Structure 1
Amino acid sequence: MDTTQGTTQTPAPGATPAPTIWPTLQAEDALALIDFFVDTVGFLRTAVYEDGDRVAHAQLDWPEGGGIMLGSYDPEAAGGTCGTPGTSGAYVVTDQVDALYGRLTAAGVKIISGIEDKPYGSREFGIADPEGNRWFFGTYRGEPRPPETP
């Protein structure tokens, strides 16, 4: 009997667990979108697998943790369950919110929500990427997890 199925590895006390949720999106021009995220926003190009003129899979890591996955839009893939380009949204945590806002504004990126302090303690702003997806960058790391009960 396989007793490992359904178990998770617990990080050492005080360690941050590896990301296990990856926002994914499809793009009409995946290579241009990858360049935007890497060259303009500051993601790291971790892996890009091309299939001819299409991107089969790309992983872009955020320097402060986590990342995104994307590929070329294929309405036939997975029985038509792929999201349409421009319909995704994500929140990215950063301690460098003001510097990032300044850099993206100077680069002419479309700002959809100006930088502001929120009542829940975050400082954040929002942009639209070249495909129309919405991205919010801020300092809010979420609420602390409740203690585990035995």
Structure 2
Amino acid sequence: MDAHQTGAVPAPTVWHCFRCSDARTVIDWLVATLGFVETACYAEDGVVTHAELLWPEGGGVMLGEGGRGADDPHASPPGAGLAYVVTADSEQVYRRAVDAGAEVVLALQDTDYGDRTFSVRDPEGNVWSVGQYRGAPLP
């Protein structure tokens, strides 16, 4: 039984989505470099049409290749994404990313609003910022 089934980590209710030229490369990079967990992957004729990756501390991303053509209301160019991933230990994730050879676009640093954060670029150009800031609480 996984953490989502036991209630230890809530299932995502908001998903950040990415369009990819080569989804399999991005999936493998997210797993090896940042520590995401691949939970679903659907392909047609060798093309990843939909994949889901969960962040072990909560949340997830969806990605896939292709689209429905020029009239696709969800179309976005590959490599144009930016996501912020919350972690309890940004230094550990930073070391993992650097050790995996990630392109660092913002080195690990402290911010004036209490975050310890960094940013790396995936093989398609998307930027992944990782930090400990969980956002302002609900009013």
Work out whether the TM-score is over 0.5. Answer: yes
Contact 1:90 1:134 in 2 (8 A): yes
Q: C-alpha separation between the residues in 2 aligned to 1:127 and 1:32?
A: 15
Alignment correspondent of 1:43 = 36
Alignment correspondent of 1:123 = 116
Larger CA Rg, structure 1 vs 2: 1
Matched, 1:28 2:28: no
Q: C-alpha separation between the residues in 1 aligned to 2:72 and 2:57?
A: 35
Fraction of identical pairs, as percent: 45
Q: C-alpha separation between the residues in 1 aligned to 2:71 and 2:61?
A: 19
Structure 2 unaligned spans of 5+: 1-7
Richer in strand (by share) = 2
User: Which of residues 53, 62, 73 is equivalent to 2:66?
Assistant: 73
User: Which of residues 93, 97, 100 is equivalent to 1:104?
Assistant: 97
Coordinate RMSD, CA, aligned: 1.8
Moved runs in structure 1, 4+ residues, more than 3 A?
15-18
Structure 2 counterpart of 1:95, which letter? A
Look up the SS of the partner of 1:79 in the other structure: coil
User: Which of residues 72, 78, 83 is equivalent to 1:85?
Assistant: 78
With a CA cutoff of 8 Å and minimum separation of 6, indicate the structure with the bigger relative contact order: 2
In the TM superposition, what whole-angstrom CA distance separates every residue of 1:11-68 from its partner, at most 9, and x where no partner exists?
Answer: xxxx986422100001111111111111222100100001111111100000000000
Question: How many pairs were matched up?
Answer: 132
Alignment correspondent of 1:132 = 125
Contact 1:73 1:84 in 2 (8 A): no
Alignment correspondent of 1:6 = none
Contact 1:58 1:70 in 2 (8 A): yes
